[in-house]
């Protein structure tokens, strides 16, 4: 699998997840991240990876998507994100306080980009 | 009965009343208003006139410095002069009118925060808060602040487990900065009562004592020296005296009145002037290179409740309640959100902010778009600190011969720890609830540099039932005196993050009830 295809899979999985009833108000065909600036996201991801030098794409994908990149991915990520904040597992980037899960997601985007 | 310009009285005129109120600011006026039309003859001695005057204002001048760990000292000499108004109505003339009571947690002795705890609860003060709200014609802050919450503008849906809550603020029109005509009525109409006389341009320069403290009844105030800037000198004599000239000037007068007690009045335990507390905001504006203090709001459709909507409606902040404080070992904390535009257009900084906002918004399950990017300023309780204090500079005197003051406003490491932990926890609460993210890019060594001080002076004649721990007792009577009371924010043991005026008025209304009972029984 190429990196580009992997990223497409990741975004598609998250896009599918937003179409779940009650999960979001997004229209099913709306792009999840819209025109996400991949260069900017990549820089955030690299900042996270700098603090996790042993993280690899495969391990991160297993951690973030243990059940695959299907429709259930986003609710699971969402639960993990809340738990992260409640136990202080955060990634601070230029002052922005993000969950470790978000940091890992940016890291995966960087690795797969 | 009247307003009298003390400069027009013959020199050495005697001023006589049952109750003499030193200071015609909001505290003094509120006390006089409560007693207007009653049996007690009341004299209010106000240093200023009806308008702010530079020469009178200069009587406040002193020196000040802010000291804090890991930060260079911040010279602050203009603060004593510029932070209060010496005029009829006091600092109400320049007040913005923002009202909020102290939180219930503010009254509690918190084991992780030394010197905290009031000799009363919020519940016990609530009837007086209600009366203060009525006086200022604002909604009462009832349980849960239901009257202040607009269903059309819901607050952020934070999870109570995380310990942060919506804490509305409201504005009264009775301030010089809001409605001058209404405030003029507020600061003058009570003087039409036949038992009230307000003396303008009447500066109290000394409280004269008859020593009686060793006999158990407390030192007795026998009179006041009154001075005018034109050289006139008068005396004022009453049964009971209330000192209400502000958190710095109350100290100045007590310490300078050292004819009988060399250490000053009420200062046998060296507490007068200590525990100075102020309110400070911390905010950083972003630029092309650095992020500012910001909040990304992911889901809230309308944030108008959180943006300053003007004076006519509730003004909301997010605050840390007691459970959060206990968990984090912090003090009170608030985050006030305000509209702010994006900075650094086209820069890598802005691009990264946009990317993380987009991902956060989606992760929070919100609609397409990026939510709202708002600025915020943080406020963190200044913990009571005996080394934060007002003293007299005996070498420098004002035109009336009063020593000038020196303020050494001190923060401890615990203050910085509390601020930073609270800001982080605020971000965690927002994130955990799926409501957004917080940006707190401030370095500790820059905290003083980015701080902005309010005009609130608190804690310097703190209240305690124990004379070893406070200057005034729970009735606001100076320990070891028989007939001298203090009102105003100087009696606050802790400062919370509430604008102090509403609490000043509540305490003053409570004092008025006490004096009515106490002095009525003696008549």
Residue with more model confidence, B465 or A20: B465
Q: Under an 8 A CB cutoff, do B363 and A88 touch? A: no
Q: List CB contacts (< 8 A) between A26 and chain B.
A: 362, 367-368
What 8-state DSSP symbol labels residue B463?
B
What is the interface pTM, i.e. ipTM, of the complex?
A: 0.88
Mean pLDDT across B469-492: 97
pLDDT at position A18, please?
A: 42
- pTM for this model (two decimals): 0.91
Q: Where are the alpha helices (DSSP H) in B205-347?
A: 249-256, 322-328
Confidence band of B286 (pLDDT split at 50, 70, 90) = confident
Q: Under an 8 A CB cutoff, do B428 and A96 touch? A: no
- Residues A24 and B366: beta-carbon distance below 8 Å: yes
- Residues B483 and B223: beta-carbon distance below 8 Å: no
Cα–Cα distance between B124 and B102 in angstroms, integer? Answer: 12
Q: Which H helix or E strand runs over B341?
A: none
Q: Under an 8 A CB cutoff, do A82 and B431 touch? A: yes
- Which two three-digit tokens encode residue A113? 């980009």
Helix axes A100-112, A73-86, angle to 10 degrees: 130
**Which of helix, strand or coil describes residue B267?**
coil
Cα–Cα distance between B136 and B186 in angstroms, integer? Answer: 9
Cα–Cα distance between B103 and B125 in angstroms, integer? Answer: 11
- Which two three-digit tokens encode residue B441? 């890019």
Mean pLDDT across B277-286: 93
Ranking A75-84, B371-380, B469-478 by mean pLDDT, the lowest is: B371-380
Q: Which H helix or E strand runs over B208?
A: strand B203-210
pLDDT at position B508, please?
A: 98
Q: Which one of B356, B357, B422 would you mutate to disrupt binding with A, by most A Cβ within 10 Å of its Cβ?
A: B356
Cα–Cα distance between B172 and B499 in angstroms, integer? Answer: 12
- Considering only alpha carbons, which residue of chain A is nearest residue B298? A24
- Which two three-digit tokens encode residue A82? 């809340």
Confidence band of B11 (pLDDT split at 50, 70, 90) = very high
pLDDT for B134-150, tens place per residue?
999 999 987 666 666 66
| Phi and psi angles of residue B283, each rounded to the nearest 5 degrees, phi first | -150, 145
Residue with more model confidence, B91 or B309: B91
Cα–Cα distance between B75 and B67 in angstroms, integer? Answer: 9
**Which of helix, strand or coil describes residue B169?**
strand
- Residues B178 and B171: beta-carbon distance below 8 Å: yes
- The C-alpha angle B22, B249, B80, rounded to 5 degrees, equals 140
Q: List CB contacts (< 8 A) between A94 and chain B.
A: 290-291, 349, 352, 439, 441
Cα–Cα distance between B264 and B253 in angstroms, integer? Answer: 9
Q: Under an 8 A CB cutoff, do A95 and B439 touch? A: yes
The residues with which B408 forms a beta bridge, in sequence order, are B65, B389
Count CB neighbours of B475 within 10 A: 14
pLDDT score of B334 more than 50: yes
- The C-alpha angle A8, A14, A16, rounded to 5 degrees, equals 100
Mean pLDDT across B360-388: 88
């Amino acid at each position: 699998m190429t990196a580009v295809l992997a990223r497409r899979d990741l975004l598609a999985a998250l896009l599918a997840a937003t179409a779940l009833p009650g999960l979001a108000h997004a229209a099913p065909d709306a792009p999840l991240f819209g025109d996400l600036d991949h260069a900017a996201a990549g820089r955030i991801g690299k900042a996270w990876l700098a603090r996790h030098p042993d993280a690899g794409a495969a391990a991160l994908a297993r951690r973030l998507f243990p059940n695959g990149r299907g429709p259930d991915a986003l609710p699971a990520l969402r639960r993990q994100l809340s738990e992260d904040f409640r136990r202080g597992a955060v990634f601070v980037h230029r002052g922005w306080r993000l969950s470790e899960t978000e940091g890992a997601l940016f890291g995966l985007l960087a690795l797969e980009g | 009965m009247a307003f009298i310009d003390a400069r027009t009285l013959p020199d050495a005129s005697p001023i006589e009343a049952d109750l003499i109120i030193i200071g015609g600011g909001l505290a003094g006026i509120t006390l006089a208003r409560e007693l207007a039309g009653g049996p007690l003859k009341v004299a209010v001695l106000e240093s200023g006139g009806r308008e702010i005057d530079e020469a009178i204002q200069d009587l406040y001048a002193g020196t000040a410095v802010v000291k804090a760990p890991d930060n260079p000292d911040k010279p602050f000499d203009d603060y004593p002069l510029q932070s209060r108004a010496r005029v009829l109505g006091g600092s109400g003339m320049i007040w913005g009118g923002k009202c909020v009571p102290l939180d219930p947690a503010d009254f509690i002795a918190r084991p992780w925060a030394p010197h905290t705890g009031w000799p009363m609860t919020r519940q016990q003060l609530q009837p007086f808060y209600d009366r203060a709200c009525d006086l200022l014609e604002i909604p009462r802050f009832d349980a849960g602040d239901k009257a202040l919450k607009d269903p059309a503008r819901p607050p952020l849906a934070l999870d109570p487990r995380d310990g942060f809550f919506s804490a509305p603020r409201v504005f009264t029109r009775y301030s010089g900065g809001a409605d001058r005509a209404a405030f003029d009525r507020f600061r003058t109409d009570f003087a039409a009562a036949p038992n009230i006389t307000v003396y303008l341009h009447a500066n109290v320069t000394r409280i004269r004592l008859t020593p009686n403290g060793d006999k158990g009844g407390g030192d007795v105030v026998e009179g006041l020296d009154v001075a005018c800037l034109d050289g006139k000198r008068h005396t004022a004599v009453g049964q009971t005296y209330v000192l209400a000239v502000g958190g710095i000037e109350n100290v100045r007068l007590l310490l300078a009145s050292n004819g009988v007690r060399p250490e000053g009045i009420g200062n046998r335990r060296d507490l007068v002037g200590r525990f100075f507390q102020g309110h400070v905001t911390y905010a950083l504006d972003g630029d092309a290179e650095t992020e500012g203090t910001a909040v990304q709001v992911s889901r809230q459709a309308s944030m108008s409740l959180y943006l300053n909507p003007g004076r006519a409606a509730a003004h909301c902040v997010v605050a840390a309640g007691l459970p959060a404080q206990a968990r984090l070992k912090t003090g009170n904390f608030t985050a006030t959100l305000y509209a702010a535009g994006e900075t650094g257009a086209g820069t890598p900084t802005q691009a990264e902010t946009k990317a993380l906002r987009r991902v956060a918004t989606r992760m929070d399950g919100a609609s397409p778009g990026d939510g709202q990017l708002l600025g915020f300023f943080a406020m963190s309780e200044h913990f009571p600190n005996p080394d934060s204090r007002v003293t007299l500079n005996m070498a420098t005197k004002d035109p009336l011969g009063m020593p000038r003051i020196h303020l050494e406003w001190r923060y401890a490491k615990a203050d910085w720890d509390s601020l930073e932990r609270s800001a982080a926890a605020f971000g965690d609460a927002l994130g955990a609830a799926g409501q957004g993210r917080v940006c707190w890019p401030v370095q500790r060594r820059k905290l003083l540099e980015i701080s902005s001080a309010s005009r609130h002076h608190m804690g310097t004649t703190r209240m305690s039932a124990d004379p070893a721990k406070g200057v005034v007792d729970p009735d606001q009577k100076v320990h070891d005196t028989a007939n001298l009371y203090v009102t105003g924010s100087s009696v606050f043991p802790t400062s919370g993050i509430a604008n102090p005026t509403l609490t000043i008025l509540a305490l003053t209304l409570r004092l008025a009830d006490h004096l009515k009972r106490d002095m009525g029984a003696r008549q």
